[in-house]
C-alpha cells in the first residue's frame, strides 16, 4: 500500500540512523522515577563476569534538572532475557520483542526529529545550548519540548503495539494504569517509558508466554494516558495535523490515534456453505452479495467502488424467531469472506461484540464497544463485525431496566454507525442480530441500513432439505421423491421472496396501502410513493427521514442486484487486483436500472419490519401491564384479608 496525498513518508534511512541510540537505551539507562513507584528488583546480566553492556546516560539538551530520588538502572534487554528461565540462549520470541522495541524507539526518535524541524524546536534547542535563546521564547521552548515528548511517547507506544500485535498468543495481562509519563523532553520521556515497562515486565512477565502480552498491554495503556495528557497540551498541531507512513512495516501515524495491527485470531467457527442455509432466501442472497462487495475494496485508495456508487451495506439488522438460522447465516457469510480473502491474500478480521463486554466499571463498556468497532473498521483489513442478541447488549434509552453499561454501548454504536464522524470506506460491515428486535432502541435499530428477515424454512421443500441436512450421513433412509436443495437455488427463491412484497404483509401497513392506493390508484410515480410514505408516517410516528434513507439505500442495493462472477473471486487478477478506476467501470457496466417495482418492494419490506417490531413491542408492553394489574389485584386482596 502506497502513500496517500495527505501522508508523508517516514524514510527508512531516517529511522535506521537511530538504531544505535535505541539499542543503547534498551541495554541500559539510569532513570529517576518521578511519579511511578519502584516495585521491581534490579536485574543483572547473566554473564556479568564477561562484562556489562554499554550504559547510556540520559541528557536533556540545554536544561539542567535536579534529581529528587536515587537513579534506577534499567536494563530492559536483560529483563527480557530473564523471562526465558534457565535457557542460556535468547528465544526467537524474545528476539522479536527486543527488535520490536528497538524499531519502535527508532521510529519515535525519527518522528521527534521531524516534529522538531517542522516546529522550529531544533533551532531553539541549538540556541538554548549556545546560551542565545531569547528570554521571551523560553516559555514557547518549554511548551514545544513537552509537545515533542508527548508525540514521541505516543508513537513509541503505538509502534510497539503495532509491531508486536501479530506475535501475541491467547494470554492477556492487566498491567494497570501507566504513571511515569514525563514531558521534560523526548529522551527523558522515553527513559521514563522504559523504566515503567521494566517494572511491569518484572511484575507480570514471569514467563516467556506472558512477555508479548505484558509489553503490548503496557503500550496500549501508555497510548491512552498520553492521549489524555495531550488533550490539555498546546503546540501539537504539527503532529496532529499531519500523518506519516513507515512503508516497511505498513505502519501509519495519525496523531494520537492508535494504529494497532490487532492480531486477527484464527477463525475457529464452523463455516457453512450457502445450501446449508435453508430458507432465508433474501437474507442469504444479500449476505452472499455483500461478501463479494467487500472484496471490491481498494487498499491503495482506502475506498470501495460500491460505497462510492451507492448500494454498499455498512450496517444491517438480522431478526427472526429463535432457531430460524441467524447463527448459520453468520457462519456462511464469515466463511465466504474468509475464503475470498485467502485467495486474494487479503487480511480478514471477524469480531463479535458479546454480553461479556458489559462491565460494571463506568466507561469500560463504552471502551469495549469502541475497541470492537475500531478493530473492524481498520482500513488495513477486510472486516466483519457481528453483534448477536443486540437487544440484551445495547440498552433502550428510557428503559429503567437498562444498565449504565448497556446504555454506554448503545451510545457508542449509534455514534459509530451513523455519527458525524462516521466514514464508510467499504472495507467492512456490521451485522446486528436479535430474536426480539422490538426491544432494541428505536434510533439504534434505524441505523441498520438493511433488514435481513431470518425466517428459517418455510415450504415443504425447505423442511425436507433441512431434515436431510441435519440427519447427516450415518443412516440409509431413502430420500424419496424430492429434488434435494433445488428449493435453495437462490435466484429463483429470491425473485419469489421479493414478489411477496408487492403488497404489504403486516395488517397495519396493509390498511395504509389500501387507503392510499384506493385514493391514488397504482403507486407508479414519485408523488404517489411519497404520499404512501407520508401515510406510513401518520400511522407510525417512528417512520422518520432516516427510514426513507434506509429504503433508498436498499433500492440502490437492488440496483446492484447482480452477482460478481465467481471467477473474479477465484482469479484476483480478473477484478480484485485491477486499478480502482477500472474496478469502478466494471461494476457500473453491471448496474441495473431502478424500477417502480423495486421501490415499492423495498418500502414494503422495510415498513413491514417496523410495523412488526411495533406490534411485538406493544403486545409485550400490554402483557407486562396485565401481569402488573394482576399482581396489584392479588396484593389488594391479601392486604384486605390481613386487615380483616
Q: Is the pLDDT of residue 378 over 70?
A: yes
Residue 407 has pLDDT above 80, yes or no: yes
Whole-number pLDDT of residue 261? 52
The residue with cell 540556541 is: 127
The rounded distance, in Å, linking the Cα atoms of 610 and 280 is 19
pLDDT band at residue 4 using 50, 70 and 90 as cut-offs: very low
Positive or negative, the Cα torsion across 579, 583, 584, 588?
positive
Domains (range + CATH), the chain: 7-254 (no CATH), 274-500+541-594 (3.40.50.300)
Report the mean per-residue pLDDT for the chain.
82
The pLDDT of 391-414, averaged and rounded, is 85
Separation CA 557–CA 306 (nearest Å): 9
Confidence of residue 107 (pLDDT cuts 50, 70, 90): very high
Three cell numbers written together for 325: 438460522
User: C-alpha grid cell for residue 8?
Assistant: 508523508
Q: Which region among 51-55, 128-132, 418-422 has the lowest average model confidence (pLDDT)?
A: 51-55
Q: Please, which residues have CB within 8 angstroms of residue 631's CB and are 6 or more apart in sequence?
A: none
What's the DSSP call for residue 303?
Answer: B
- Asked if 168 and 162 touch (Cβ cutoff 8 Å), the reply is no
Residue 577 has pLDDT above 50, yes or no: yes
Between CA 326 and CA 466 the distance in angstroms is 15
607: which 3 cell numbers? 415498513
The pLDDT of residue 318 is above 50: yes
DSSP 453: E
pLDDT at 265 over 70: no
C-alpha cell at 84: 526465558
Burial class (CB in 10 A: 0-12, 13-18, 19+), 448: buried
Cα–Cα distance measured from residue 516 to residue 74, given in angstroms and rounded to the nearest whole number: 79
**Residue range 492-542, pLDDT digits in tens:** 555 566 677 888 888 888 999 999 999 999 999 999 999 999 999 998 887
Could you tell me the pLDDT band of residue 613, with boundaries at 50, 70 and 90? low
> Residue 20: which residues within 8 A CB-CB, separation 6 or more?
none
Instruction: State the sign of the Cα–Cα–Cα–Cα dihedral 116, 122, 128, 133.
Output: negative
R_g of the chain computed on alpha carbons: 30
Residues recorded for the chain: 644
Q: Which three cell numbers stand for residue 67?
A: 534529581
Pairing, β 450-453 against β 315-319: parallel
State the average pLDDT over residues 484-496.
Answer: 61
How much of the chain exceeds pLDDT 70, in percent? 84
Helices vs. strands in the chain: H and E counts, helices first: 24, 10
What are the backbone angles phi and psi of residue 348, rounded to the nearest 5°? -120, 135
Burial (CB count <10 Å: 0-12, 13-18, 19+), residue 21: middle
Give pLDDT, residue 85: 73
SS3 state of residue 579: coil
Amino acid at each position: 500500500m502506497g502513500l496517500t496525498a495527505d501522508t508523508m513518508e517516514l524514510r527508512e534511512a531516517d529511522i535506521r540512523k537511530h538504531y544505535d541510540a535505541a539499542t543503547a537505551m534498551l541495554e541500559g539507562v539510569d532513570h529517576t522515577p518521578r511519579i511511578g513507584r519502584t516495585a521491581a528488583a534490579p536485574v543483572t546480566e547473566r554473564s556479568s563476569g564477561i562484562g556489562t553492556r554499554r550504559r547510556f546516560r540520559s541528557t536533556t539538551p540545554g536544561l539542567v534538572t535536579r534529581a529528587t530520588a536515587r537513579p534506577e538502572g534499567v536494563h530492559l534487554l536483560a529483563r527480557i532475557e530473564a523471562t526465558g528461565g534457565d535457557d542460556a540462549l535468547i528465544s526467537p520470541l524474545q528476539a522479536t520483542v527486543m527488535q520490536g522495541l528497538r524499531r519502535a524507539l527508532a521510529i519515535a526518535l525519527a518522528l521527534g526529529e521531524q516534529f522538531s524541524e517542522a516546529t522550529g524546536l531544533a533551532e531553539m534547542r541549538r540556541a538554548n545550548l549556545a546560551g542565545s535563546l531569547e528570554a521571551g521564547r523560553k516559555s514557547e521552548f518549554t511548551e514545544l519540548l513537552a509537545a515533542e515528548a508527548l508525540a514521541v511517547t505516543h508513537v513509541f507506544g503505538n509502534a510497539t503495539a503495532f509491531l508486536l500485535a501479530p506475535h501475541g498468543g491467547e494470554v492477556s495481562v492487566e498491567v494497570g494504569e501507566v504513571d511515569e509519563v514525563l514531558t521534560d523532553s523526548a529522551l527523558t520521556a522515553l527513559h521514563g517509558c522504559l523504566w515503567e515497562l521494566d517494572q511491569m515486565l518484572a511484575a507480570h512477565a514471569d514467563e516467556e508466554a506472558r512477555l508479548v502480552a505484558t509489553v503490548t498491554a503496557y503500550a496500549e495503556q501508555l497510548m491512552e494516558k498520553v492521549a489524555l495528557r495531550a488533550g490539555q497540551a498546546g503546540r501539537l498541531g504539527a503532529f496532529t495535523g499531519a500523518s506519516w507512513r513507515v512503508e516497511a512495516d505498513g505502519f501509519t501515524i495519525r496523531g494520537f490515534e492508535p494504529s494497532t495491527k490487532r492480531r486477527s485470531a484464527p477463525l475457529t467457527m464452523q463455516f457453512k456453505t450457502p445450501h446449508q442455509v435453508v430458507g432465508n432466501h433474501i437474507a442469504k442472497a444479500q449476505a452472499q452479495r455483500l461478501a463479494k462487495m467487500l472484496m471490491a475494496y481498494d487498499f491503495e485508495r482506502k475506498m470501495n467502488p460500491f460505497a462510492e456508487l451507492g448500494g454498499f451495506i455498512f450496517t444491517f439488522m438480522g431478526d427472526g424467531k429463535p432457531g430460524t438460522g441467524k447463527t448459520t447465516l453468520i457462519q456462511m457469510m464469515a466463511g465466504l469472506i474468509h475464503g475470498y480473502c485467502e485467495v486474494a491474500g487479503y487480511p480478514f478480521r471477524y469480531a463479535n461484540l458479546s454480553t461479556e463486554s458489559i462491565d460494571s466499571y463506568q466507561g469500560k463498556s463504552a471502551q469495549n464497544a469502541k475497541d470492537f468497532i475500531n478493530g473492524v473498521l481498520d482500513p488495513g483489513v477486510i472486516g466483519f463485525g457481528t453483534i448477536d442478541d443486540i437487544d440484551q447488549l445495547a440498552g433502550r434509552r428510557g428503559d429503567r431496566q437498562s444498565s449504565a453499561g448497556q446504555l454506554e454501548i448503545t451510545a457508542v454504536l449509534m455514534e459509530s454507525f451513523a455519527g458525524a464522524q462516521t466514514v464508510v470506506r467499504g472495507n467492512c460491515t456490521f451485522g446486528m442480530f436479535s430474536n426480539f428486535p422490538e426491544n432494541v432502541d428505536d434510533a439504534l435499530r434505524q441505523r441498520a441500513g438493511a433488514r435481513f428477515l431470518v425466517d428459517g424454512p418455510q415450504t415443504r421443500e425447505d423442511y425436507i432439505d433441512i431434515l436431510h441436512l441435519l440427519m447427516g450421513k450415518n443412516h440409509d433412509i431413502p430420500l424419496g421423491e424430492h429434488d434435494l436443495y433445488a428449493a435453495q437455488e437462490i435466484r429463483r427463491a429470491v425473485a419469489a421472496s421479493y414478489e411477496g412484497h408487492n403488497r404489504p404483509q403486516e395488517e397495519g401497513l396493509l390498511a395504509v396501502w389500501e387507503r392510499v392506493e384506493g385514493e391514488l390508484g397504482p403507486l407508479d410515480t414519485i408523488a404517489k410513493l411519497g404520499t404512501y410514505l407520508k401515510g406510513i408516517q401518520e400511522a407510525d410516528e417512528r417512520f422518520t427521514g432516516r427510514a426513507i434513507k434506509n429504503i433508498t439505500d436498499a433500492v440502490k442495493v437492488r440496483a446492484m442486484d447482480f452477482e460478481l462472477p465467481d471467477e473474479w473471486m477465484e482469479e484476483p487478477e480478473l477484478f480484485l487486483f485491477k486499478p480502482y478506476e477500472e474496478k469502478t467501470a466494471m461494476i457500473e457496466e453491471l448496474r441495473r436500472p431502478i424500477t417502480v417495482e423495486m421501490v415499492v418492494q423495498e418500502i414494503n419490506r422495510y415498513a413491514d419490519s417496523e410495523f412488526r417490531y411495533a406490534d411485538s413491542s406493544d403486545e409485550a408492553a400490554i402483557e407486562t401491564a396485565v401481569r402488573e394489574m394482576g399482581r396489584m389485584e392479588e396484593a389488594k386482596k391479601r392486604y384486605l384479608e390481613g386487615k380483616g
